[in-house]
Amino acid sequence: MDIEDAEGRTAAIIKKALITPLRDRFKVEVTNGPEMDVQGNILAHEYNIESGREKVAEVSKKWFPIRDTYGVEVTPGQDAALILAITVALDQMVHD
């Protein structure tokens, strides 16, 4: 799945890397930045987004008791809009 910026240029491309029973892995190729890895249980909204060994963001439902609600904690200094776009794209990719 491609993520476009406000001018319609590709900002990132998300590709499924490996499928396992409870954990999914995705690669995010950022156009003007480092590649990111997404690991965890995407279907359950419990996963991390990492760049190298650095955690860029954590996505979790554990912070919210409300059904179909989850939070995204973005590490300071990261592109929050891009991280949120990645999160929404992943949600679209794994849920019908």
The residues pairing with 10 across neighbouring beta strands, listed in sequence order, are 4
CB count in 10 Å sphere of residue 83? 20
Please enumerate in sequence order all residues whose Cβ is within 8 A of that of 82, keeping only pairs 6 or more positions apart, or say none.
Answer: 3, 11, 12, 30
Q: What is the pTM of this model?
A: 0.87
**Residue 22, pLDDT above cutoff 60:** no
**Residue 23, pLDDT above cutoff 60:** yes
Single-letter amino acid code for the residue at 31: T
CA–CA separation, 72 and 51 (whole Å): 16
**Residue 2, pLDDT above cutoff 70:** yes
Rounded to 5°, angle at Cα 31 from 28 and 37: 20
Domain locations in the chain? 2-94
Res 42: pLDDT: 85
Res 68: pLDDT: 77
